[in-house]
Amino acid sequence: MEKKTRELNYDILRIIACIAVILIHISAIYYYSLYDSSYFGQTYDSNHFTIVFLNVLGNFAVPCFVMLTGAFVLSNDKNQDRRYLYKKAIKNILVPTIIIGIIYFIYKEGVTINNIIHHKENLININYPLKILIFGEPCYHMWYMSMLIGLYIIIPDIIKYTRKIERHKKSSTIFAIIILYLLICGHFDTSKLKYSVAIFIPYISYLLLGYLIRKGTINKKNNIKAMLFIMVAIAIMFVHSFLVNEFHLWNQENELVLGLFGKGAFNPLIILSSCCLFIGFSYMKIDSKFSFKRLPQETLYIYLFHVLVIETISKPIIYKVGMKLTPLVAIPLYVMLTFIISWIITKIYMWLFSKINKDYKLENKIYKILNLENNN
């Protein structure tokens, strides 16, 4: 069987999106320090736009991650078969979510107990890590995994109805209405239960956008168009940063202003910049000799581990250095440090897991529970 050629333009986007997530969380420390003195002992009174821009710059990550999923998963008709899709999702998404979720639970429980011993927290908080585990968010970034699992449950149905819509004469109009409706729903979503219907349904819009954009550009590679769309995306990010900085949104209580120009995957400016960026990379043509080896596939694990790195390694360094380095230097430096350490932990985890799981086969046990083991 001929080996499937990887689409390197999307591999690059996947790696950049992974770095962007880390950028959001590192820059957030500086972002919140604009009004909270607990981070560095005093509030930041300079470099406001730099901090805001670096924080806004990473907000395309989640939309692009979901669009990447839609681009490939929705284009494969085999994924209409629930057994076929669910077996892949269990192995590649559910198993690492469970294992790494437990790691975060143990870590946070240990931190909580340590804080109780040193009288930094009340004994009543000892069950807090269990509470957030039950609510589908063992650590703040893992809401994404719960949301993604929810999407995978209904992806066979999405593919089925997508094919029906594509046979319709006015399919473009129908897709536009569905996507617009879901984006509006996502903009007003306030769900706390991370695996609830409310949290993952709006992200169908990004699944569909990723699928439709890749379908429309797959045979139309043009690096000039790619650069133009990427430049437009960056320009929108500049406008977004200017508005955040102008309205001091880091300490803004006006819900209307926050809704229009604040942060979040369904903010209008983030939607526009994310789509422009994705279109840009979709048009991009990369030399087939170029390769990232396994790094694109490892980005999910880097994503899962990066918060552990921030909280145990990077954060103390950041707090210790504080304002000694300008954010334009410090934030990228800490981002790359976190990415590299997370990548090393990913390599160690994957090696250990392959050794331990060789005989245990956790995914096979889940297949059996869900009656999926007989499907090849």
Q: Token pair for residue 68?
A: 């990447």
Once rounded to an integer, what is the mean pLDDT over residues 307-335? 85
* Residue-wise pLDDT tens digits, 284-295: 998 777 778 889
**Across residues 297-308, what is the average pLDDT?**
95
Tally the C-alpha atoms within 13 A of residue 216's C-alpha that lie toward its C-beta: 12
Lowest mean pLDDT among 60-64, 239-243, 291-295, 307-311: 291-295
Read off the pLDDT of residues 3-55 as tens digits, 9 standing for 90 and up. 567 899 999 999 999 999 999 999 998 888 888 887 777 788 788 899 999 99
pLDDT at residue 259 tops 80: no
Q: Are 255 and 320 in contact (CB under 8 A)?
A: no
pLDDT band of 260, cuts 50, 70, 90: low
372 exposed, middle or buried (CB, 10 Å; 0-12, 13-18, 19+)? middle
**Does the model's pTM come out above 0.85?**
yes
How far apart CA 209 and CA 231 sit, in angstroms, is 20
Tens of pLDDT along 165-196? Answer: 999 888 999 899 999 888 887 877 644 444 44
pLDDT band, residue 254 (cuts 50/70/90): low
Query: Of 37-41, 77-81, 117-121, where does the model show the most confidence?
Result: 77-81
| pLDDT confidence tier of residue 116, bands split at 50, 70 and 90 | low
Whether residue 12 contacts residue 280, with contact meaning beta carbons closer than 8 Å, is answered with: no
Q: Which pLDDT score is estimated for 129?
A: 55
Residue 47 near residue 331 (C-beta atoms within 8 A): no
Greater confidence (33 vs 115) lies with 33
Domain ranges of the chain: 8-369
| Predicted confidence (pLDDT) per residue in 198-237, tens digit | 588 899 999 999 999 999 999 899 999 999 999 999 999 9
For residue 102, pLDDT over 50 is answered with yes
Neighbours of 340 (CB within 10 A): 12
Is 9:281 a contact under the CB 8 Å cutoff?
Answer: yes
For the purposes of burial, counting CB atoms within 10 Å of the CB of 180, is it exposed (0-12), middle (13-18) or buried (19 or more)?
exposed
Q: Is the Cβ–Cβ distance between 268 and 260 less than 8 Å?
A: yes
**CA 369 to mean position of chain CA atoms:** 29
Residue partners of 161: CB distance under 8 A and separation at least 6: none
Residue 163 pLDDT grade (very low, low, confident, very high; cuts 50, 70, 90): very high
The predicted pLDDT at position 1 comes to: 37
